[in-house]
Amino acid sequence: MELPIKVAFLVYFIAFIIQALYWFLIYSRIIFYKPAPLKIHKKPVSVIICARNEEMNLRKNLRLILNQKYPNFEVIVINDCSTDGTQDFLDELKIEYPLLKSSTIKEDRKFRHGKKLAVTLGIKASTNDLLLFTDADCRPESDFWIDHMMRNFSTETSIVLGYGGYSEEKSLLNTIVRFETFCIAIQFFSYALAGLPYMGVGRNLAYRKSLFFDNKGFARHSHLASGDDDLFVNEVASRHNTRIEISLKSHTRSESKKNWKEWYHQKKRHLTTGPDYKILTKFLLSLEVLSRIFFYAGFIFLLIMAKSEWMVITIPFLLRLGIFITVLKISGSRLNEKHLLLPSLLFDMILPLFNIFILFSNYVEARKNRWK
């Protein structure tokens, strides 16, 4: 056997072992997760929503939040420089719902700000220690969204990570967005269950106001446009203060981007936060992606160059595929994600390469801006 093929076999089998460990020891944890019981004594909650020109989404979704079956909560909407009818709609709705509050950020051309300012103002305006965050384009999947997210808080718990999925549509882009969102959720939920919480999503996230102020809010990453959810969780979450909530009644749903350009720019913005993760988080996430790339590349290379060893080559691939499909199938049922198994293998190979390309693009842009 020639040396390049021997090296390829070695790389392929090492990559297989790493992949098997990730999927069998970490990602499978979501399958065995048992939710906390609903609490009899329900503590007051402040739901915070930031909105910029979101009148149409607020008209579709806000009443679903205001009508939640929870005994004591308020809803705070921060109108962030909207130029549509957002404020008029909020003023109308406040007459019908006294629990609705709103604040407005006026546009200042001399001072540019991101979502973090709006989130911070919403937190300061809240009257309760327990905070639940979602976006204007998100709708809760049940009338018990607040109830199920809040059942995880205890004297030790300060953060609850929820699931924010996307509605299913018949398009390739929508399938890719839903698959990636689903896989990222499996990842950060499983890491949290393994005692290594590293991110959450602002579409469905809860934490204590005291935790926010004790850690000086977003001060450490205020220079980044993104990170009000994942970087904050990465900074303050621990194995002791973080829980997850994945029951179907706790989910939120939103509409995915409708065209490739919008999705591409959204991805670029989201991936700007990765370099600021903790070193251990970056190492573990990078190792999984790189081992996956080498696993698929090794499999394809060996099938072409060492056809006579097809059985030895195929067995690790099928073993990894079996674990992969099992975790996706059961997790899909728990997170109410359908019709993703068939395209999963193709997306599992392609998306890491696409993300690496975007990370490299962000790095090049950052270098150019540094020298301007």
DSSP secondary structure letters along 77-142: EEEES--SSHHHHHHHHHHH-TTEEEEEEPP-TT----HHHHHHHHHHH--SSEEEEEETTEEESS
**What is the strand order of the sheet 73-80 is part of?**
100-105, 73-80, 45-51, 130-135, 205-208, 159-161, 242-244
End-to-end CA distance of the chain: 53
- Distance (Å) of CA 83 to CA 51, 53, 79, 101, 105: 11, 6, 10, 19, 11
User: Residue 370: its pLDDT value, please?
Assistant: 53
Q: Is the dihedral of CA 277, 278, 281, 284 positive or negative?
A: positive
Q: What is the pLDDT of residues 223-250, one digit of tens each?
A: 777 778 889 999 999 999 999 999 999 9
As a whole number of angstroms, the distance between CA 328 and CA 88 comes to: 44
Given pLDDT bands bounded at 50, 70 and 90, which one contains residue 2?
confident
DSSP label at residue 24 = I
User: pTM higher than 0.85, yes or no?
Assistant: yes
Inter-helix orientation angle 3-21/310-334, to 10°: 20
As a whole number of angstroms, the distance between CA 195 and CA 197 comes to: 6
Judged against a pLDDT cut of 70, whether residue 168 lies above it is answered with yes
Q: What is the pLDDT of residues 245-285, one digit of tens each?
A: 999 999 999 999 889 888 888 888 778 788 889 999 999 99
User: Residue 108: its pLDDT value, please?
Assistant: 72
User: Residue 368: its pLDDT value, please?
Assistant: 62
| Domains in the chain with CATH codes | 3-29+280-361 (no CATH), 36-257 (3.90.550.10)
Q: What is the number of other CB atoms lying within 10 angstroms of the CB of residue 179?
A: 22
Place of tokens 């290379």: 301
Q: Phi and psi at residue 102, in whole multiples of 5°?
A: -145, 150
As a whole number of angstroms, the distance between CA 333 and CA 330 comes to: 5
As a whole number of angstroms, the distance between CA 200 and CA 204 comes to: 8
Judged against a pLDDT cut of 90, whether residue 182 lies above it is answered with yes
